[in-house]
Amino acid sequence: MWHGTTILTVRKGGSVVIGGDGQVSFGQTIVKANARKVRRLGKGDVIGGFAGATADAFTLFERLEAKLDQYPGQLMRAAVELAKDWRTDRYLRRLEAMMIVADPAVTLLLSGNGDVLEPENGLAGIGSGGNFALAAARALVDTDLDAETIVRRSLEIAADICVYTNRNVTIERL
């Protein structure tokens, strides 16, 4: 379980949105309140969010971007190749992070265990508040709300419950 982060993705109505809070905690201390844990990758056609050690996540984002350059327009292939490297490379194996990445066609959850998972309902949450946000999103997804509104409301709910989550939210949408 990663502490200090809530990342949520919702795929609905032809769009995909990833949102994350901005709190970085070190033990019981809030070190930063406005970190950007969600960003565009590649040529801007992929979005991603991370939970875990920041330096590790940036290393993984860089590796994923290299794989996206190698396999343009093939997020699934790039993610599988990254997962293979992550699991087998001695250096990468020590990285402690999880990622959610998405393009217009697919949403994927990546972990250091070699997991490349595609959530079947277009919803995924990671981090210490991820399950709270995910539960809220599941409750809201069948309403008339759009994907971005669902992400924002769900992250607010997670912030009410999880002490490692704040309301300083970054949103990326495709």
Confidence class for position 73, pLDDT limits 50, 70, 90? very high
Task: Read off the tokens for 97.
Answer: 């992070």
pLDDT of residue 1: 44
In terms of Cβ atoms closer than 10 Å to its own Cβ (0-12, 13-18, 19+), residue 171 is: middle
- Which of 5, 6, 107, 170 is an active site residue? 5
Is the CB of residue 86 less than 8 Å from the CB of residue 112?
A: yes
pLDDT of residue 154: 98
Residue whose entry in the numeric block shows the structure tokens 């709270």: 132
Confidence class for position 57, pLDDT limits 50, 70, 90? confident
pLDDT of residue 66: 95
Tell me the percentage of the chain whose pLDDT exceeds 70.
94
Look at residue 161 and tell me if it is in a domain.
yes
Q: What is the pLDDT of residues 38-51, one digit of tens each?
A: 999 989 999 999 98
User: What is the value of pTM for the model shown?
Assistant: 0.92
Look at residue 60 and tell me if it is in a domain.
yes
What sign has the CA pseudo-torsion 116, 122, 125, 131? negative
Is the CB of residue 137 less than 8 Å from the CB of residue 151?
A: yes
Q: Which domain holds residue 80?
A: 6-173
* CATH number (domain holding residue 132): 3.60.20.10
Phi first, then psi, for residue 118 (nearest 5°) are: -105, 110
Q: The sheet that has 6-12: what strands, in order across it?
A: 123-127, 6-12, 15-20, 170-173
Residue whose entry in the numeric block shows the structure tokens 């994350």: 20
Q: What is the pLDDT of residues 3-37, one digit of tens each?
A: 578 999 999 999 999 999 999 888 888 888 999 99
Look at residue 1 and tell me if it is in a domain.
no
Determine the average pLDDT of the residues in 89-117: 84
Number of domains in the chain: 1
Is the CB of residue 105 less than 8 Å from the CB of residue 63?
A: no
Closest CA to 5 of 57, 51, 59, 60: 51
What does the alpha-carbon distance between residue 83 and residue 87 come to, in Å, rounded to a whole number?
6
Instruction: State yes or no: is 149 an active-site residue.
Output: no
What sign has the CA pseudo-torsion 53, 57, 59, 172? negative
